[in-house]
Structure 1
Amino acid sequence: MTADPAETHLAKTLIQAVETADSSARLLEAVQQLSEARLEAAIPTLIAALGYNNPGAAVAAVDGLIMLGKAAVAPLLELVDTYNYGARAWAIRALAGIGDPRGLGLLIEAAKNDFALSVRRAAARGLGTVNWEELSPEQAKSAQAEAAEVLLEVLQDPEWVVRYAAVTGLQELAIAMAVSDTDWAMRILSQFEQRIEVEDSQAVMARIWMAQKEIHEYAVSMLEKQPDPEVKTLVSALDLDWQATLDRLYARKRREEPLPEGDPRKFREAAATIYKEIA
């Protein structure tokens, strides 16, 4: 297929603008214009922009790569910067936004083993946005199970923002597997219950609660469409008292908040401590 001369000229002009930009503002503008043009010839330049020390340009490049879709997947997998963790995180975001199953291996590896929390976070979120329908039912079931196993590991990550992303990914997976693999969806819910008992981040606890609610609403809608006994079991497992759950979250938050100066409870606690020491 012969390239369109006008398109080729436009690509060269826009790419040159990126490569010759002499300020952060001009670089951002040049990358935005290149992204908006949606030219496949621009993919290597957009990937290179992920590694520039310019977050605005990186965001624009990610947007452009996502708009280019499948054409950007192979170059992203091939050209991802293994030394620059910032560029790696942006590349993972682009792959997550595209959702092509070809990126699954990289997402799994990054979520499990990358030293950079920004990369693990992006990968964990991405594992919930894979376009599973592009795989055969057998392939999808196996790949979803592998992704869920990894995200359950990531749910123990020392960084709360990564755990938060894992909850988001697990929510999407549970919804995707609500009918095709109800046992796995139930396992995810069970792990949510276990995690919330030991979780020390209020944000992660609230995100788990929201995930439970979203999964419940989806399962109820599915049950209305098809009276599947397994989906009914899933709905029953999520028949939670949401107000009681919220009360529990708030009570725990109150317990963990530091007492203000002058609060009588501080004196009671101090007196109790002194009594124990002299008793």
Structure 2
Amino acid sequence: MDELIRAVSVAETPEQMVTAVKNLAAAQDPLVIPTLIAVFGYNNPEAAIVAVAGLTELGEIAVPQLLDQIDDYNYGARAYSIRTIAAIADPRALSVLIDTALTDFAPSVRRAAAKGLGNLQWEKLDISESQIAINRALETLLLICEDTDWSIRYAAIVGLQALAKVAIMQAPIFAKFQLMLTKDTEKAVRARLQLALAQ
């Protein structure tokens, strides 16, 4: 394992880095989590995508370290962390996803968080906890449906559509979609609303 981890730190070209990260991710060992997370900050998008896939495969076991190591200064690294957290869909990430969707300065990071909010695995919480958590996600997504950036509104619709799989959320979500359809003038947002309402 040490050899695989060292290969990442000594890679001299972008291609060597990608190969080293692929080998490391393939190990599927919890010991590789910190190194895979560090790859997010290396300014090598291909390697970062491989690291996202590797961490997503590791699943829940990677979540605490992902939450602890979100990079406040490198928005690219933060975007990869949030995408990974969203893909794993662990409800322990709820507060981070809410804060990110509402306040992050980088639109790509906010979009990833908004989409992730709709897909959390609520069944991993007990019933009373899940009800509170689902309502927090709903409130956040409804709020960012009013964002001035159309791409954030679009991501909120994606998140809400996923959240609508929870039966008791369908009525407020579809009511919001209908209301947005009467008010939002952005073509991409309107098309996404129509797609969500058709399903």
Does the TM-score normalized on the shorter chain lie above 0.5?
Answer: yes
Deviating above 6 A after TM superposition, structure 1's stretches of 4 or more consecutive aligned residues are: none
Kindly, what percent of the aligned residue pairs are identical? 46
* CA distance, structure 2, for counterparts of residue 172 and residue 141 of structure 1: 16
1:70 is matched with which residue? 60
Q: Give RMSD over aligned pairs.
A: 1.1
| Aligned-residue offset at 1:186 | 1.1
* CA distance, structure 2, for counterparts of residue 36 and residue 200 of structure 1: 46
Tell me which of 67, 79, 97 is aligned to 1:107. Answer: 97
SS in 2 for 1:175: coil
- Find out whether 1:152 has 2:142 as its counterpart: yes
| Aligned-residue offset at 1:67 | 0.5
* CA distance, structure 2, for counterparts of residue 128 and residue 36 of structure 1: 29
Tell me which of 155, 174, 197 is aligned to 2:182. Answer: 197
What 5-or-longer segments of structure 2 have no aligned partner?
none
What 5-or-longer segments of structure 1 have no aligned partner?
1-10, 215-279
| Aligned-residue offset at 1:206 | 1.2
2:78 is matched with which residue? 88
- Find out whether 1:59 has 2:32 as its counterpart: no
- Find out whether 1:138 has 2:128 as its counterpart: yes
* CA distance, structure 2, for counterparts of residue 26 and residue 156 of structure 1: 44
Tell me which of 24, 30, 35 is aligned to 2:25. Answer: 35
| Aligned-residue offset at 1:141 | 1.2
| Aligned-residue offset at 1:13 | 1.1
Deviations 1:46-94 (A, max 9, x none): 0000111111111111101100111100001111111111111110111
Deviations 1:140-196 (A, max 9, x none): 1111111011001111222222211111110111122x1xx2xx4211111111112
Counterpart amino acid of 2:117? L
Tell me which of 211, 221, 226 is aligned to 2:196. Answer: 211
State the aligned residue count: 199
Counterpart amino acid of 2:54? G
When structure 1 is superposed on structure 2, of 116-125 and 32-41 the one drifting more is: 32-41
| Aligned-residue offset at 1:15 | 0.9
* CA distance, structure 1, for counterparts of residue 151 and residue 127 of structure 2: 32
Counterpart amino acid of 1:101? P
> Normalising to structure 1: TM-score of the pair?
0.69
* CA distance, structure 2, for counterparts of residue 151 and residue 28 of structure 1: 35
> Normalising to structure 2: TM-score of the pair?
0.96
1:165 is matched with which residue? 155
